[in-house]
Amino acid sequence: MRSLGRIGEWLPRLMQDRQLQRRIAGGLGLLSGVGVGLAGYALLHEPVAIELEQLTVRLPNARGRLPHKGLKILHLSDTHFQNLTRRERAKIERIRRLTAELEYDLLVHTGDFWHNEAGIENVAMLLDMLPKPRLGAYGVLGNHDYVCYSHSDILTRNWQRYQRINTNGHQQGAATPAYQNGSTPALHQNGYAHGRAEALSPAYSLQNDVTAPAASLPPLSWLEFAQDTIQFMRYFLNVPFDLERVSLNNVRLLVETLAEHGVEVLHNRSVHLCQKPGEADGMDLHLAGVDDVSEGAVDLATAWADVPQDSLKILLSHNPDILEDPASRNADLILSGHTHGGQVALPLLGAAHTQSIHLGRREAAGYMRRGNTHVYVTRGIGEGIPLRFGAKPQITLLTIVAE
């Protein structure tokens, strides 16, 4: 009541004080100007401000297997072309300028070439514009290469999944929500939903049935509701979204177009890049690639089938969640994309979301280690939802040398 009284005293003063009115109006104007500026930056500037990162990776296993000056790999990913002509052509032009003077041995693209089939022309245009690699160009498919998703009911859909998991988890007597106690279920639900589960390695086995109807529980108190909402937001930010699959892309068209423009798709297989082995400028490298974890039929055993254990091995996988499978650790180096670096990343808070089980929001992109396996996850070039903030798009020139 006292605060209401104060407002009652303050309002008439405000009505008469022209200077105070001007200051408040100025403050509000400044705030909205900053808001518009930030929105403009995130929507129009940052998505096309592609950076070239240069990174040297030292691999013990590379001794005597790579040219003494190192192996140069240009790593692209997540172009997400969908025929947004001006924006995508601006990205292609930016990449042309960044790569015009580059010389490299391999070009690799770790998937999400297109966002939908309308992007095929720009995929071809980008590939034709890049300087030709000395040893060839290789790629793997990403989830968007297979599927178009709808984001329109993302909140409702994931709230419903959260409720199913949680309700069923509580019903089983779980003290913590199911997604927090190590039994995270069906994180790649999209992949399972269309019958590819049997092709996935056992590491991805479904541990909990989230398709079961949620059990009914007594109504929540306001405090419980608030706690539940906070818990849901943590779930929403940290667990890959369940997205509605609205249509399938013509993957055959994509793979054929890539082949016509010099890119060979490594679909659960490897190539042996061997030239003058043992000589100063010689090389002996096995490059493997796997299908997408969530929408493809990933088969690491087949991908490694022709690769000797004691060899230098690089693995391409669109989704860094391949690291959940112990067989991925055969690789000396894994190159991935998919996370877009979170797409929105704020100081102190980190990335908004990684759409990954394996990578948390504080490890959304960049170089990292998993035991003896070196891992590099690029922020990629494009995006489905066309904005970025604090997670600039990038291409990367990796130089692989012997340690």
Positions that interact with Fe ion (CB under 5 A): 78, 112
Pick 112 or 321: Cβ nearer Fe ion = 112
Q: Cβ 189 to Fe ion, closest distance in Å?
A: 18
Q: Cβ 245 to Fe ion, closest distance in Å?
A: 15
Are 59 and 369 spatial neighbours (Cβ–Cβ below 8 Å)?
no
Cα(first)–Cα(last) distance of the chain, in Å? 72
The structure tokens listed for 3 are 């605060």
Pick 78 or 105: Cβ nearer Fe ion = 78
Three-state SS at 371: coil
Pick 158 or 294: Cβ nearer Fe ion = 294
Q: Cβ 355 to Fe ion, closest distance in Å?
A: 8
Pick 169 or 341: Cβ nearer Fe ion = 341
Pick 78 or 299: Cβ nearer Fe ion = 78
CA–CA dist 140, 264 (Å, integer)? 9
Q: Cβ 230 to Fe ion, closest distance in Å?
A: 29
Pick 177 or 320: Cβ nearer Fe ion = 320
Give the start-end residues of each E strand in 309-403.
Answer: 312-316, 333-336, 345-346, 350-351, 366-370, 373-377, 394-402
Pick 62 or 84: Cβ nearer Fe ion = 84
Cβ atoms within 10 Å, residue 340:
31
Pick 67 or 380: Cβ nearer Fe ion = 380
Give residue 127's identity as a one-letter amino acid code. L
Pick 166 or 356: Cβ nearer Fe ion = 356
* 103: nearest Cα among 130, 64, 138, 68: 130
Q: Cβ 339 to Fe ion, closest distance in Å?
A: 8
State phi, psi for 36 to the nearest 5 degrees.
Answer: -65, -40
DSSP 35-79: HHHHHHIIIIIGGG--EEEEEEEEEGGGTTTS-TT-EEEEEE---
Q: Cβ 258 to Fe ion, closest distance in Å?
A: 16
> To which H or E segment does residue 106 belong?
strand 106-109
Are 386 and 43 spatial neighbours (Cβ–Cβ below 8 Å)?
yes
Cβ atoms within 10 Å, residue 118:
13
Give residue 159's identity as a one-letter amino acid code. W
Q: Cβ 80 to Fe ion, closest distance in Å?
A: 6
Q: Cβ 138 to Fe ion, closest distance in Å?
A: 18
The structure tokens listed for 369 are 């280690």
Q: Cβ 20 to Fe ion, closest distance in Å?
A: 50
